[in-house]
A and B are shown apart, each in its own frame.
Chain A
Amino acid sequence: MAPLLAVRDLRQRFDVSGSIFDRLRIRNGRITAPRRIVHAVNGVSFEIARGEVLGLVGESGCGKSTLAKTVIKLHEPTGGAIALDGEDITQHDFHRMRPIRKKMQMIFQDPYASLNPRQRVRDIVMEPYLENAAGPVPDVAERALALLAKVGLGREHADRYPHQFSGGQRQRIGIARALSVGPDLIIADEPVSALDVSIQAQILNLMMDLKDEFGFSYLFITHDLSVVRHISDRIGVMYLGFMVETGPKDAIFENPLHPYTQALLAAAPVLGTPLPPAADAIKGEVPSALNLPTGCPFRTRCPLAFDRCAVERPELKPVAGGHSVACHLHDGGIAAA
């Protein structure tokens, strides 16, 4: 069966050079107007099956959020292809995206910025549904209350405004909004990272309960490894806009292959045990997405980098059982050596 979401070689670049006057530079006595291009997503491919949760991890600024927002077409992709349910939506304009909105929804990171402060809760949660409804909806009030009940809010909450709620409650409202159209895929962009730790588990459990009830899939973006371990079926690890490793949750956690994944997992503290020595392995800063390194994007910080890493960019290649890695160390002969 075809996957629900298939992303092929997706690229997203942003020209941040501004107007011609901002670009003008004098270099070596010559006037130039260089462009500044942010390479946010650089050829990422992945698939999500029905009912599956793909957790996307990586440090801040690695292009996770941009990838999510490109998949849902908040940004127009620079290259590659996005297929939802077998339908290529890469080039879809506003009108052709309309039926897609019912299949794909999003939960946002900041529960304080993602709700319009001037809208009542009942209007917020029903907005996607009403916008995509074929005709008038006579039972809009009942539907709103039913949605709120699904996320654990009562009818007394329906007429309030967002500022009257806590962060966790606001995120519940955001989840209800995404649910209103009955989507097949929900893209969750760091949905709990802005919440208190004590609230995070509640919201995660709610999200998993809803998934079990409705059977949709998640593309779950986070930088928190314990969150990703809790909810994911499969995991993708991103670095500087590249997917460096992907595979089933257990394979990634038990047998991480990419040096970046290894360092990432080692750096996550476990209560009661001292950090392993590999936790210090990542040195230096993430390179600028304006100026990507040649070859492997991770080579500037990789403790195991060798000559080939500087000249050839590693491809994401399968190693075993749906586990893929983009690293020359695991590329046939050299890995053995």
Chain B
Amino acid sequence: MTALAQRFLASELFHNYRRNASAIIGSLIVLFFAGMITIGPWVVAQDPYDVAQLELLDSFKPPVWLEGGSPQYWLGTDGQGRDVLASIVYGSRISLFIGLTAMIGSCLIGTTLGLLAGFYGGRLDSVIMRIADIQLSFPSVLTALFLMSAFGTGVEKVLIALISVGWVVYARTVRGSTLRETQKEYIQAARVSGLPNAKIILRHVLPNVLTPLIVVATIQVGTFVLIEASLSFLGVGVPITKPSLGLLIKNGFDVLFSGLWWISVFPGLFIMLIVFGINLLGDFLRDELNPRLK
């Protein structure tokens, strides 16, 4: 383990990382959110979904630095007296859980289909890639919106909708790399060694097509957080009992123009921050892992 850590510290990736301010900022933001969704609930004072902890008298309190603000509620409260900061901590967990799970699901399905299409080619390839083309010709938010209107709200339904729009990018990336790798002589060497196709795919093709996926996967978490927020804002995303950041914006939107801006604006800023951080990190990884840019 220490040998691995030493290799990482000596690697070119780490060397360039230390000299790249935006990469450092991006990873710090991502780390901050990682901390927030893991230990956040024990740090904030209130569980906003435990009705017993809510004080209706404290509703619509502004942030602490404004007149009438209370030091108990740093970012103010909403109409039910829920702490906005606590809501954001709990909401980030739901948003990032959906983003990460949907990314993993898309990655598994898309990579499998891309490997099969690229390795076997022929009719299987045509069918998978035509479906992918059709999928890509619609904006992913639109497809997800359509699916959610058909399914109704629910976390698992959001996941299904996101995965069905997200697999395409993996399938296309993996298919392209697979086509390139299977031309190489080490695949022929594996055939001459007598390896069955399944072993050739898993042992020889898969490890050599994974690198570009790291970039896609990183950026996709940010994209999925945004799509989920859009869906929830439009009322077809997560249910009210599991408010993500997007649903928090929607909840505060009704009173936004009454001067109670903090209920919507702070969750919005946090969405912006997490997507910004993920994209900074993703851009750095793309520049580092793309051999053509070297």
Interface residues of A (CB under 8 A from B): 69, 72, 74, 94, 97-98, 101, 105-106, 108-110, 113-119, 127-128, 131-132, 174, 177
Contact = CB atoms under 8 A, between A and B. Distances in A.
B193 A101 contact: yes
Contact of A131 (B186, B195, B208): B195
A74 B196 CA distance: 13
A191 to B, nearest CB: 11
A127 B190 contact: yes
B189 interface: yes
B194 interface: yes
Contacts of B203: 116, 119
Contacts of A74: 188, 191-192
A108 B188 contact: yes
B185 A113 contact: yes
Interface in B186-220: 186, 188-196, 199, 203-204, 207-208
Contacts of A97: 194
Contacts of B191: 74
B165 to A, nearest CB: 28
A176 to B, nearest CB: 12
Tell me which of B184, B185, B207, B208 has the highest count of chain A C-beta atoms within 10 A of its own C-beta. Answer: B185
A132 B190 CA distance: 12
B240 to A, nearest CB: 47
A114 B191 CA distance: 12
A103 B185 CA distance: 20
Nearest to A98: B194
Given A116-B204, A116-B208, A118-B207, A127 B193 contact: yes
Contacts of A98: 194
Given A97-B194, A101-B193, A128-B194, A115 B186 contact: yes
Given A113-B184, A114-B185, A116-B208, A101 B192 contact: yes
Nearest to A106: B192
A154 B277 CA distance: 47
Contacts of B193: 101, 127-128, 131-132, 177
A15 B229 CA distance: 51
B208 A117 contact: yes
A113 B186 contact: yes
A127 B195 CA distance: 9
A106 B187 CA distance: 12
A219 to B, nearest CB: 13
Contacts of B196: 94
B189 A177 contact: yes
Nearest to B197: A94
A146 B247 CA distance: 65
Nearest to A189: B185
A72 B192 contact: yes
A254 to B, nearest CB: 36
A115 B204 CA distance: 10
Contacts of B189: 106, 108, 114-115, 174, 177
A119 B191 CA distance: 16
A114 B186 contact: yes
A128 B192 contact: yes
A105 B192 contact: yes
9 contacts: A97-B194, A101-B194, A106-B188, A109-B185, A115-B189, A116-B186, A116-B208, A128-B192, A177-B193
A110 B188 CA distance: 12
Contacts of B184: 113-114
Contacts of A128: 192-194
Nearest to B192: A106
A116 B193 CA distance: 13
Given A114-B188, A116-B186, A116-B207, 14 more contacts: A74-B191, A74-B192, A101-B193, A101-B194, A106-B192, A110-B185, A115-B186, A116-B208, A127-B190, A128-B193, A131-B199, A132-B194, A174-B189, A177-B193
